[in-house]
Amino acid sequence: MNTARPVPDAAGVRAGAATLRALVEPRLAGVLPAEAAHFLARLERYGPDVIELLRPLYGHRPDFEAWVEAILATAADAFLARPAELKALDARREADPTWYQHHTMIGAVCYVDRFAGTLEGIRQRIPYFRELGLTYLHLMPLFRTPDGPNDGGYAVSSYREVNPALGTMDDLRRLAADLRASGISLALDFVFNHTANDHAWARKARAGDPRYQAHYYMFPDRTTPDAYEATLREIFPEEDPGSFTFVEDVGQWVWTTFHRYQWDLNYSNPEVFQRMLGELLFLANIGAEVLRLDAVAFIWKRLGTNCENLPEAHRIIQAFNALVRIAAPALVFKSEAIVHPDEVVRYFGTGEWAGRECELSYNPLLMVELWEALATRHTHLLTYSMQRRFAIPPNCAWVNYVRSHDDIGWGFADEDAEALHIHAFHHRQYLNRFYTGQEPGSFAAGHGFQWNPRTLDMRISGTTASLAGLEKALAAGDEQAVEYAIGRILLMFGIVLSMGGIPLLYLGDEVGTLNDYSYRDDPQRARDSRWMHRPRADEAQLARRNQPGTVEHRIFNALRRMIALRKQQPAFGAAAHTGVIETGNPHSFVFVKSSADSRVLVAANFTEREQHVATGGFGDILSLNPSTDLLSERAVDLSQDLTLPPYGLLWIAVPPQASGAAA
């Protein structure tokens, strides 16, 4: 590495300097000229961004320039190691850079071991994924973890080794290729806020090596931890209270936001950024097309703050993204930020970086407000928040979901609730009581998670079906209640499939899987009720999807049909406009999706009673009469009030001659 050559500032590079090219060109000597030219063009386009983003974080260091060279060399080396078929994918994605916004995108997520045993088992399920119509599959963390508790894989001992019980890195590479050949993009986790306490770096830190201790936040006594903890939130107050853990080997306190065995990485150390870039690009070269950036909110710390969502965290992700655009442009990022809705949306990037941070983000707000509306039978909060908070940068997409492997925390904005005269604290208490079955008339069979006696807060565990009422209805043998439960499940699926973005199905939900209480017998899991909604797939239950008259058949086939219909409607893509309508009926949720070539009005009833919705406020949609409900294939007369049956959902398509009308 030539450390004498100065790295120009970003403005200098933008002005046309070819210095960046000079930095990496020698490394590309063995590459085909056309490929090298592509790489260099990307380097010249995004390299200045990398410098601009990293200078405020690390520019004060005397070796900054040499360090930037090393960063770019890491990107160049990853490009050199990138398999030819992934470079071909890069070219296809560069020609269609917003591929993930397409209305044909259908996502799902599962645990490898719980859904299919091993990576080979997942491969054998590809026909099932195709049957459902999936184009995106997120496999929960599948890397080597410590023996014993590992937070469902979120304590990573090595980013370059697959958990041996699941298979090998080669199996994973082959699986990625087989999925791709079946039109399914693989999404993997990048658990980059922390490593497991037995990662090689952590082991060296424990052995007393100061270089590796500087990979983490380690303190000789409680003074600094106490100062930080004065303003920190506890994530797992029941299991691992506080945010620091005493490491006996070295007599020091280490930062552990999550569990005691998950050590937070110290990104103020440039070596950590560089090494994690290497791990990130390694995963890109395995064939991951989406990286789920785990726990994005926590990656930067500053005393006196809650150490969440700090501006530096955004810069780091933006810099990673710019480096991915250089070395592996087929890859996109999905943000996992379970924080205030104002903060969630910032992970798409803001200002000049809008659309240049995470292309995708979970939409926890839509998820919690769907459940909130089901409990209250009122859609005020859902309508109000979605009118104000659904819009995102034009090249981005929400990942809309009903359930995930995690708990449900009532993360709506207090100010949205207050604007509607809802007392946020009391409302959360009510929702917790409702979903743990403690409110009179509650249909839900959920359980509390991480009760915090200081804040009186907790979150909710349970599967979609159990929370939606199916567990209680089946136990009671109440056919009407079963109808309602299925109605609720399909209503929520119908909204996440149509609202715009990638719908993400938590596998098991497509056949109405109920809570699994066996985790209580496993001492390693008994204190984490999230295992209730992480059951093993039941082959007999999956097979019942083909048996008419069963609950599984009803849910699976209705869902599959909605998926097939979605794939025919460009208006359901992420780039289409979403106009949420205040109808005056407080139990219905109505929105219009419009793209250049199609338009669909979606209307949903969140109650067990028939609802009538006046169409007067639907604007020029009225002139699109007569229209057809895609789901029932019936004609709908928009000049009359809309009639919505209990938990009814309509997808009303605009007649072809009217397509293209302004929203």
Q: In sequence order, what are the residues at sequence separation of 6 or more whose Cβ sits closer than 8 angstroms to the Cβ of residue 70?
A: 1, 274
Residue 425 half-sphere exposure toward CB, CA atoms < 13 A:
2
Closer residue to ligand GLC in complex, CB, 195/611 = 195
CB 245 within 8 A of CB 252: no
Q: Which of 23, 57, 119, 191 binds ligand GLC (CB under 6 A)?
A: 191
Q: Which of 153, 113, 109 is nearest to 528 (CA)?
A: 153
Residues between 541 and 580 with contacts to ligand GLC, criterion CB under 6 A:
none
Closest distance to ligand GLC from the beta carbon of 155 (Å)? 8
Burial of 268 (0-12, 13-18, 19+ CB in 10 A): middle
CA 318 remoteness from chain centre: 17
The span of 146-154, 171-179, 501-509, 536-544 binding ligand GLC (CB under 6 A) equals: 146-154
DSSP annotation of 458? E
Tell me the window of 39-47, 149-157, 450-458, 467-475 that interacts with ligand GLC (CB under 6 A). 149-157
Three-class SS state of 273: helix
Closest approach of ligand GLC to the CB of residue 28, in Å: 37
Tell me the closest approach of the beta carbon of residue 287 to ligand GLC, in angstroms: 22
- Say which DSSP state 59 is in: T
Catalytic residue among 336, 407, 528, 552: 336
CB of 29 to ligand GLC, least distance (A): 41
Q: What is the DSSP letter of 343?
A: H
**How big is the site for ligand GLC, counted in residues (CB under 6 A)?**
9
151 part of the interface to ligand GLC, by CB under 6 A: yes
Query: Is residue 362 a contact residue for ligand GLC (CB under 6 A)?
Result: no
> Would you count residue 192 as binding ligand GLC (CB under 6 A)?
no
Catalytic option among 44, 294, 471, 509: 294
Other Cβ atoms closer than 10 A to 223: 9
State yes or no: residue 347 binds ligand GLC (CB under 6 A): no
**Options 258, 430, 556, 591; binder of ligand GLC; rule CB under 6 A:** 258
- 264 counts as binding ligand GLC under rule CB under 6 A: no
Residue number with CB closer to ligand GLC (113 or 151): 151
Which of the stretches 148-156, 240-248, 446-454, 647-655 binds ligand GLC when contact is defined by CB under 6 A? 148-156
Report how far Cα 368 is from the mean position of its chain's Cα atoms. 14
Among 277, 295, 551, 600, binds ligand GLC (CB under 6 A): 295
Whether residue 613 contacts residue 385, with contact meaning beta carbons closer than 8 Å, is answered with no
Q: Which of residues 387-416 bind ligand GLC (CB under 6 A)?
A: 406
| β-bridge partners, 635 | 628
**Which stretch in 150-158, 197-205, 554-562, 599-607 sits in contact with ligand GLC by CB under 6 A?**
150-158
Contact flag: residue 154 with ligand GLC (CB under 6 A): yes
Among 49, 113, 198, 294, binds ligand GLC (CB under 6 A): 294
Which span (147-155, 203-211, 362-370, 539-547) binds ligand GLC, by CB under 6 A?
147-155
Tokens of 137: 């599959």
State which residue has the least CB distance to ligand GLC: 154
Residue 493 to residue 107: CA distance in whole angstroms: 12
Token digits of residue 656? 């072809």
Based on DSSP, count helices (H) and strands (E) in the chain, helices before strands.
24, 25
- Token pair belonging to 363: 């939409």
Q: Residue 149 or residue 648: which is nearer to ligand GLC going by CB?
A: 149
119 contacts ligand GLC (rule: CB under 6 A): no
Contact (Cβ atoms closer than 8 angstroms) between residue 344 and residue 65: no
Least distance in angstroms from the C-beta of 264 to ligand GLC: 10
Residue 596 identity (one-letter amino acid): A
Whether residue 294 lies in the annotated active site: yes
CA distances from 451 to 150, 430, 527, 596 (A): 21, 14, 11, 48
Helix (H, G, I), strand (E, B) or coil at 454: coil
Taking the C-alpha atoms of residue 252 and residue 255, their distance in angstroms, rounded to an integer, is: 10
Instruction: Please report how close the Cβ of residue 190 comes to ligand GLC at its closest, in angstroms.
Output: 11
Rounded to whole angstroms, how far apart are CA atoms 142 and 165?
A: 9
Shortest distance in whole angstroms from residue 294 CB to ligand GLC:
5
CB of 534 to ligand GLC, least distance (A): 10
Tokens of 496: 């996440």
Active site residue ranges: 294, 336
Interface residues toward ligand GLC, by CB under 6 A: 151-152, 154, 191, 258, 294-295, 336, 406
